[in-house]
Amino acid sequence: MKVLGLILAGGKSENLGKLVYKRASAALPIAGKYRAIDFTLSNMVNSGIIKVGVLTQYNPRSLMDHLGSGKEWDLDRKKGGLFILQPYIGFSGEYWYKGTADAIFQNMTILRRGEEDYVLIGSGDHIYKMNYSDLYMYHFSKGADITLVTKELDDTYDISQYGSVVVDENMKITQFYEKVENPPTRRAFLGIYFINKHLLMELLYSTVPNGGNDLLLDVILPRLDELNVYAYDFKGYWRNIKKGIDEYFKINMDIINDRNVREELFYQNGKVYTKLKDFPPAKFTSNSEVINSIVADGSIISGSVKNSVLFRGTIVKAGAKIENSIIMQGTVIEEGAVVKNAILDKDCHVREGQVIIGEDELVVLEKRTII
C-alpha cells in the first residue's frame, strides 16, 4: 500500500479550555497512558503506511516531545518515516498555516517527492481504531477520486456539530451540509480523507493561491459535481475530543465502562503505540479500594478510586477519595483529599483534606496546580 499519511494536528480547539493552554489538542493525554494522536498514528502504521507527515502549528512542544524520532511507532526509518511539518519563515516571508488546504499546500514537497499514489489525511484529535486497507480497497473498487470516511451517528452525538452527508444508492456524495441545524441525514463526515495524490496536488495548486484555504470547504465541496466523491461507511467507535471537555471526559468513561470499546480500541486491528515511560507495575496497598477504573503503570494507590482514570505515576494516598475523575501523569492526591467530577492535569498536587468537587460541570485543574 503506497499511501502517504498526513495528520492534521495544528488546531487550537478552544472548546478544550484549560486542557489545551499549553498543548495542541492532538497531544492531549487520554485513557491512562496515551495522547490523542496515538490512535491515528497507530492506525496508519498498523495499516502499513510507513511515511507520515504531522502538520503542527499551535503549541507543538509536548507533541514534538511525544513524537520524537517516531521510534515508538517504528517510524524511525531510512525509507519513509515520520516528518514533522511546521510553519516556517521562507525566503519571501513568514507563513502561518491559514487552513488545512494551505497547510498541505505549503508542504507540497512531501507530496511531490514521494512515490506514493494516494494520500490519507486524518486528524490528530480523533479516537478510533480503523484498518485503512479496507478504505484503500473501497476507494479502488468505487473508482473514486476522493473518499470521505463517514459514520451514521446515533443520538449521543450533536449532529449539528458535524458535517452531514447525503449519498446516492452507490454511496456517491451528492450533497454536504457543514454544521447546520437539523440536517437531512445523520451520516456525518469524520474528517478522514482518502485522495489520489496527483489530484490533490492539482486541486491545491488551483485553489490555495486564489485564497481557498480549507480543504473541505474550499477545495472539495465546490467540486462535488465534477469529482467522484464517495462516502465510506465506518461502523466502529469514533469520537472527536475537539468537541469539548465533556466529550473528552465521555470518551474516557466509555473506555472504563464498556469492555467492547476497550477491546476495539486496544486489541483489534493492531495495538495503539505510545511513548514508553518505563514505569514499574501499578501498586495497590492494603488500604486501596479500586472500583471500575483504569490504572496505568507506576501508580501507587492507597485510597479509594471509583469510575476514574489514573494515568502513569499517579499517587493516591490513604483515605483519599477519587470518583468520576481523570487524574493525569504525576499527580499526587494526599491523605484524606476528595476529588469528584474533575480532570486534574499533569503534576497537580492536592494537599491533605482538600476537597475538589465538580457540581454542575467538571472541575478542570491546569497542569502543576497546587491546592
Partner 1 sequence: MKNVVALILAGGQGTRLGVLTEKIAKPAVQFGGKYRLIDFTLSNCVNSGIYKIGVLTQYKPHLLNQHIGIGKPWDLDRKDGGVTILQPYYTEKKGVWYNGTADAVYRNIEFVDDYNPEYVVILSGDHIYSMDYNELLDYHKAKSALATVACMEVPLSEASRFGIMVTDLENRIIEFQEKPKQPKSTLASLGIYVFQWSFIREVLIEDAKNDQSSHDFGKDIIPKIIQTERVFAFPFDGYWKDVGTIYSYWESNLELTRPIPPFNIHDENWRIYTHSKEMPPAYIADSTKVKNSLISEGCEIYGAVSNSVLAQGVEIGKGSVVKNSVIMSNVRIGENCYIENAIIAENVVIGDFVKIGVGEFAESKLNKKVYNSEITVIGMDSIIESKVEIGKNCVVGIDKIVNKNLNSGEYI
Using CB under 8 A as the criterion, which residues of the chain lie in contact with partner 1 when the complex forms? 31-33, 256, 259, 262, 265-266, 271-274, 276, 278, 280-286, 288-298, 300, 309-312
Neighbour-count burial of 33, counting CB atoms closer than 10 A to its CB (0-12 exposed, 13-18 middle, 19+ buried): buried
Residue closer to partner 1 (CB basis): 10 or 32: 32
Residue closer to partner 1 (CB basis): 100 or 293: 293
Residue closer to partner 1 (CB basis): 29 or 163: 29
The distance of closest approach from Cβ of residue 265 to partner 1 in the complex, given in angstroms and rounded to an integer, is: 8
Residue closer to partner 1 (CB basis): 144 or 255: 255
- 277: which DSSP letter? -
Distance from chain centroid for Cα 363: 22
- Quote the CA–CA distance of 252 and 313 in Å, as a whole number: 18
Residue closer to partner 1 (CB basis): 30 or 167: 30
The distance of closest approach from Cβ of residue 263 to partner 1 in the complex, given in angstroms and rounded to an integer, is: 10
DSSP secondary structure string, 155-203? TTS-GGGSEEEEE-TT-BEEEEEES-SS-S--EEEEEEEEEEHHHHHHH
The distance of closest approach from Cβ of residue 370 to partner 1 in the complex, given in angstroms and rounded to an integer, is: 20
The distance of closest approach from Cβ of residue 293 to partner 1 in the complex, given in angstroms and rounded to an integer, is: 6
Rounded to 10 deg, the angle between the 245-257 and 259-267 helix axes is 100
Q: Distance between the two ends of the chain, CA-based, in angstroms?
A: 52
Q: Enter the C-alpha cell of residue 146.
A: 476522493
Residue closer to partner 1 (CB basis): 45 or 167: 45
Dihedral angle, C-alpha 247, 249, 253, 255, nearest 10 °: 70
